[in-house]
Amino acid sequence: MGIFNSLNLQQKSETIKHLSKYVQKELATKLSDAELVEIVERLDPDEATDILQLLPEHRSKLIIAKLNEQLRNGISLLLKFDPDTAAGLMDINYIHINQNDSIASVAKQVKIHEKRTGKTPLILAMDNGVLAGYLPVHELGFSGAREKAAKYVKKIKTIKYTADTEEIIDIFRKYPHNKIVVLGDRDNVLGAIYSDDVLKILHEKEASSLYDFAGVHDEESVYDSIKNKVRYRYKWLIINLGTAFLAAFTVGLFDETISKFVLLAVYMPIVAGMGGNAGTQTMAIMVRGITLKQIDLKTMWRTLRSELGSGFINGLINGVIIISIVYIKDNDWKIGLILALAMINNLVVAALFGTIVPLIMKKLGKDPASSATIFITTATDVLGFLVFLGLATVLLG
């Protein structure tokens, strides 16, 4: 808070809009109404709305009442919509022009808007009340003053105001561009969504996936109390404890082998660690692909082949290194070979389960990030120890 207070007003407004929702809420709660009004008035309506939605309703209304009329009207409009829809994400910085207007007339309208808001608007061209497209701002400087705007109007994608974030991401992925127009029930223009808004959505999704991946609740933060941290995490830790016992049981099946060849116990953590890390790498890629709708169970085969091939080759590379190290350190090529073979097996297992399990969890309606990691870790630990100690029993016994 001290660092934030040391910034000037412009720096505060630029900083707060780039912070996480949790930190925004913390700052907004500690700022006085007067300070918050000064900061919010320097933000776009959609950015201001995002921050005000984090406050209690009574305080949010109090802040809105103190804002300038234009911003107040914009925020009031955006607050009517679900924040997770196109309408909740849109920017309302735009102007309507008639596509038969002259370039000089359009330039005049843009200057009026800029003088009133301090921002250059998106110029939307209308034809008998229907959206015809948009006029790139740079055309105002390169076109003749008497030319009709229609000559330079370009098509622009549209989306209904009720569309959810998945639809928004999908349309930006299918049609690469930097903006889409949001339409109301009567195909009237409500606002526009820009690519940076979509990037923000993707970053939030990735952050959420990372939280789930670690077994941490998405509402948990570094400032939470001990009680909240325990409440958010204990279930995952109990489940992981159960899988750890399963791995321990597997190891217990080979007590005699381990007691004869104590060196095996020294290298067991390598088998588990490498398998777990490889599974984590594959799963991270799969969760991202699922989030972006790039892959599902029907289209996974190409990815699965690539992951299995990668796991096998990486296993060979690390296997050669392991044999060399074990032979130099312990002068025992057999244990080095056993460890290398177990490594190849475990990296292939990690690739297999890291690819398939997240997709199965998604198909079952479960969050792949939060549920898959337990099964992947269990598979690499149990099968890794089973192969390592099984080979040792056969080859060394």
Q: How far apart are CA 172 and CA 197, in angstroms?
A: 11
Neighbours of 56 (CB within 10 A): 9
Q: How far apart are CA 372 and CA 353, in angstroms?
A: 9
Single-letter residue type at 343 = M
The interaxial angle of helices 21-30 and 45-52, nearest 10 deg, is 80
Per DSSP (E only), the strands in the chain are: 94-98, 122-127, 130-134, 158-160, 179-183, 189-194
Q: How far apart are CA 139 and CA 150, in angstroms?
A: 11
Which residue has better confidence, 188 or 225? 188
Task: Tell me the residue length of the chain.
Answer: 397
- Whether 5 contacts 34, CB under 8 Å: no
Q: How far apart are CA 4 and CA 7, in angstroms?
A: 6
pLDDT-derived band of residue 204, with 50, 70 and 90 as boundaries?
A: low
Q: Report all structural domains of the chain as residue ranges with CATH numbers, in order of start.
A: 2-80 (1.25.60.10), 88-194 (3.10.580.10), 226-396 (1.10.357.20)
| Per-residue pLDDT tens digits for 349-381 | 999 999 999 899 888 877 676 667 788 888 999
Q: How far apart are CA 35 and CA 109, in angstroms?
A: 33
Tokens of 386: 């089973």
Q: How far apart are CA 16 and CA 1, in angstroms?
A: 12
Virtual torsion, Cα 369, 375, 381, 386, nearest 10 deg: -150
Q: How far apart are CA 17 and CA 5, in angstroms?
A: 15
pLDDT-derived band of residue 206, with 50, 70 and 90 as boundaries?
A: low
Q: Which residues contact residue 382 at a Cβ distance below 8 angstroms, ignoring those fewer than 6 apart?
A: 246, 247, 250
- Given strand 94-98, what is the order of strands in its sheet? 94-98, 122-127, 130-134
| Per-residue pLDDT tens digits for 208-239 | 555 555 555 555 555 566 777 787 677 777 88
- Scan for tokens 């990690």, then name that residue: 350
Instruction: List residues bridging with 154 in a β-sheet.
Output: 134
H helix and E strand count, the chain: 18, 6
Phi, psi of 158 (to 5 degrees): -125, 160
Report if pTM > 0.75. Answer: no
- Whether 107 contacts 121, CB under 8 Å: no
Question: Over the range 348-362, which residues count as b (16 or more CB within 10 Å of their CB) and which as e?
Answer: bbbbbbbbbbbbebb
pLDDT-derived band of residue 193, with 50, 70 and 90 as boundaries?
A: confident
* Residue 286 burial (10 A CB sphere; 0-12, 13-18, 19+): buried
Q: How far apart are CA 161 and CA 186, in angstroms?
A: 11
| Per-residue pLDDT tens digits for 3-17 | 777 788 888 888 887
Q: Which residues contact residue 115 at a Cβ distance below 8 angstroms, ignoring those fewer than 6 apart?
A: none
CA end-to-end span of the chain: 65
- pLDDT at residue 42, rounded to an integer: 83
